């Protein structure tokens, strides 16, 4: 009879917590929480409530103030009484081991921060041995300083009234907590060194693969996560790279040979960047981003329908500079023009116009107009201006190809007829 019983899979519910600080105003905090909600949705959780608090800086003990923590606790208790259990509380910044321990003791639910959520998505998306090794290494790096929390039931047992050294406990009455922690620490450190060795081997293999690719220009698609890099990759290379409207749908670098007219070149699809990306994670993914470092031309894809696209451009440029990929020739491609929206101003509204009131045509005439050929507006899903993109990429790759491989002929020669 079991096969006839349909049981609904229970979706975990989540509460989001963010701070409004001197460095981060309310608009920016709401934007970050929107992104955090999207991350939670990608990981398979449903967001039911958001909490924000104005503080000069994050509280070093509980991240938020005592009153706000009590408010979150009351909300969780009320939901439990109405049989709507809250599965987890997600914080928008990275939490220290002490903060996690204190918040967990108070709220008595699962506590996650932005880093652990991103790591969880990475672990879910990793397909190749390379990606799995990198994710595992990043997870261990994150776990190492937070080990204490996992073994609270094995803390040293205090006891005995002996006059001892004052460090708690008489001889023979100390618990195994410290040894257990040390053992775990040693296992993790051994595992990390093993993973690092494995990554060095993978790096060698990747370097050999790149050497054997022949005399072709390398083009890399870079950009923020979920801007449409894989969709553009599929259209240009006619391949079947996994593309989905979720964050970090791509975690493995894919390289394809693309031929436009008489010119073959290599196009690689890379991992998207995100704000507040932990440094450990950037370090772990350096081998994946070797494609970016070794590329001759970068195609920077931007989601123009996102309200904070200019900040996303800054994040990508900063991350590129961090990994040593800055200063390369670049084409800026504004994708998703079909999804662009603006708020039309009423004729009697005398307030100054903001960025939200600009139409797409007006936006194109701002700082983007100065970039001339290095800036394109397309929609990969609706295939708008894709031919223009192909032409610009062809011209730029052709220039680079002639410079780098002057004696390497094209597939066939094109002779422009001279008019007499």
Residue 130: both structure tokens together = 């390379």
pLDDT for 378 beyond 70 = yes
From the DSSP assignment, how many helices (H) and strands (E) are in the chain?
13, 10
Cα angle, residue 177 at apex, residues 171 and 181 outer, rounded to 5° = 135
Exposed/middle/buried for residue 334 (C-beta within 10 Å: 0-12, 13-18, 19+):
buried
| Residue 301 · residue 375 · CB < 8 Å | no
Distance CA 344, CA 186 (A): 61
Q: What's residue 151's pLDDT?
A: 58
pLDDT for 3 beyond 50 = no
Give 257's strand partners: 266
Residue 137: both structure tokens together = 């290494």
pLDDT for 322 beyond 80 = no
Average pLDDT, integer, range 324-353: 74
DSSP 185-216: HHHHHHHHHHHHHHHHHHHHHHHHHHHTT-S-
Distance CA 255, CA 266 (A): 7
Which of 42, 38, 67 is closest to 124 using CA atoms? 42
Residue 43: phi and psi, rounded to 5, are -75, -10
Q: What is the pLDDT of residues 163-199, one digit of tens each?
A: 444 455 556 555 555 567 777 888 888 999 999 898 8
Q: What is the pTM (predicted TM-score) of this model? A: 0.76
pLDDT for 81 beyond 80 = yes
Average pLDDT, integer, range 135-163: 67
Percent of the chain scoring above 90 in pLDDT: 1
Q: What Cα–Cα distance (Å) separates residue 237 from each residue in 77, 188, 241, 338? A: 53, 41, 10, 22
| Residue 268 · residue 258 · CB < 8 Å | no
pLDDT for 292 beyond 70 = yes
Residue 307: both structure tokens together = 């309200």
pLDDT for 149 beyond 60 = no
Average pLDDT, integer, range 69-79: 89
Q: What Cα–Cα distance (Å) separates residue 311 from each residue in 1, 23, 83, 302, 394? A: 56, 14, 41, 11, 29
Distance CA 288, CA 85 (A): 39
Q: What's residue 376's pLDDT?
A: 82
H helical segments located in 113-255? 114-125, 129-143, 147-150, 177-211, 229-237
pLDDT for 368 beyond 50 = yes
| Residue 95 · residue 254 · CB < 8 Å | no
The widest CA-to-CA distance across the chain, in whole angstroms, is 109
Q: What's residue 5's pLDDT?
A: 47
Q: What is the pLDDT of residues 221-277, one digit of tens each?
A: 888 888 888 888 888 877 666 666 666 666 667 788 888 888 888 888 877 778 777
| Residue 323 · residue 293 · CB < 8 Å | yes
For helices 386-404 and 229-237, angle between their N-to-C axes, nearest 10 degrees:
80
Cα angle, residue 232 at apex, residues 133 and 276 outer, rounded to 5° = 50
Distance CA 94, CA 115 (A): 6
Residue 250: both structure tokens together = 């791509």
Q: What's residue 134's pLDDT?
A: 83
Distance CA 329, CA 400 (A): 10
pLDDT for 1 beyond 80 = no
Q: Look at the alpha carbons of 167, 168, 171, 174 in this order and tell me if their dihedral is positive or negative.
A: negative
pLDDT for 332 beyond 80 = yes
Q: What is the pLDDT of residues 101-142, one digit of tens each?
A: 888 888 888 888 888 888 888 888 777 787 788 888 888 888
Pick the residue with more confidence: 166 or 207?
A: 207
Residue 84: phi and psi, rounded to 5, are -120, 80
Residues 6+ apart with CB under 8 A from 30: 52
pLDDT for 68 beyond 70 = yes
Residue 78: phi and psi, rounded to 5, are -60, -45
Query: What are the structural domain ranges in the chain?
Result: 12-121, 127-154+174-212, 213-404
Distance CA 195, CA 283 (A): 13
Q: What's residue 418's pLDDT?
A: 41
Average pLDDT, integer, range 31-45: 86
Q: What's residue 29's pLDDT?
A: 87
Distance CA 103, CA 101 (A): 6
| pLDDT bracket for residue 303 (50, 70, 90) | confident
Q: Where is 297: in which H helix or E strand?
A: strand 297-303
Q: What's residue 350's pLDDT?
A: 60
Give 254's strand partners: 269
Identify the CATH number of the domain defined by range 12-121. 3.40.50.11060
Q: What's residue 118's pLDDT?
A: 85
| pLDDT bracket for residue 162 (50, 70, 90) | very low
Q: What's residue 161's pLDDT?
A: 45
Q: What's residue 193's pLDDT?
A: 92
- The correct CATH number of 213-404 out of 1.10.3720.10, 3.20.20.370, 3.40.50.300, 3.40.1670.10 is 3.40.50.300
* Average pLDDT taken over every residue of the chain: 77
Residue 263: phi and psi, rounded to 5, are -125, 110
- Examine domains 12-121 and 213-404 and report if their fold is the same: yes
Average pLDDT, integer, range 339-364: 66
pLDDT for 64 beyond 80 = yes
Q: What Cα–Cα distance (Å) separates residue 268 from each residue in 95, 99, 141, 298, 377? A: 35, 40, 28, 10, 21
Residue 116: both structure tokens together = 């652990």
Which of 207, 204, 237, 202 is closest to 219 using CA atoms? 237
């Amino acid at each position: 009879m079991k096969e006839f019983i349909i049981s609904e899979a229970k979706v975990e519910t989540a509460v989001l917590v963010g701070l409004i600080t001197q460095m981060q105003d309310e608009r920016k905090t709401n934007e970050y929480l929107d992104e955090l909600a999207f991350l939670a949705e990608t990981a398979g959780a449903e967001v039911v409530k958001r909490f924000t608090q104005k503080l000069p800086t994050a509280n070093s003990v509980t991240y938020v103030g005592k009153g706000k923590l009590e408010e979150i606790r009351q909300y969780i208790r009320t939901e439990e009484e109405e049989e709507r259990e809250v599965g987890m509380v997600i914080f928008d910044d990275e939490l220290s081991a002490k903060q996690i321990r204190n918040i967990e003791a108070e709220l008595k639910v699962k506590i996650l921060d932005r880093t652990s959520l991103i790591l969880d998505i990475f672990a879910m998306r990793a397909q190749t041995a390379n990606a799995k090794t990198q994710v595992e290494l990043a997870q261990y790096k994150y776990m190492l300083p937070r080990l204490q929390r996992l073994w609270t039931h094995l803390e040293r047992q205090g006891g005995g009234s002996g006059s001892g050294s004052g460090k708690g406990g008489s001889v023979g009455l100390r618990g195994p907590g410290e040894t257990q922690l040390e053992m775990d620490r040693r296992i993790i450190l051994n595992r990390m060194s093993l993973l690092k060795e494995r990554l060095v081997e993978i790096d060698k293999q990747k370097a050999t693969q790149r050497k054997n690719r022949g005399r072709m220009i390398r083009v890399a698609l870079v950009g923020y996560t979920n801007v449409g890099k894989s969709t553009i990759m599929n259209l240009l290379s006619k391949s079947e790279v996994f593309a989905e409207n979720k964050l970090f749908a791509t975690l493995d670098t894919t390289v394809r040979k693309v031929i436009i007219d008489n010119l073959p070149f290599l196009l690689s699809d890379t991992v998207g960047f995100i704000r507040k990306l932990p440094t450990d994670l950037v370090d772990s993914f350096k081998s994946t981003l070797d494609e970016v470092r070794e590329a001759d031309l970068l195609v920077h894809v931007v989601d123009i329908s996102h309200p904070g696209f200019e900040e996303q451009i800054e994040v990508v440029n900063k991350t590129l500079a961090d990994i040593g990929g800055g200063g390369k020739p670049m084409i800026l491609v504004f994708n998703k023009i079909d999804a662009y929206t603006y708020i039309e101003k009423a004729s009697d509204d005398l307030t100054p116009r903001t960025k939200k009131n600009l139409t797409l045509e007006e936006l194109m005439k701002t700082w983007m107009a100065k970039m001339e050929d290095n800036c394109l507006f397309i929609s990969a899903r609706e295939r708008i201006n894709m031919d223009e993109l192909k032409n610009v990429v062809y011209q730029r790759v052709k220039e680079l190809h002639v410079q780098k491989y002057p004696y390497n002929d094209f597939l066939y020669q094109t002779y422009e007829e001279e008019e007499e």
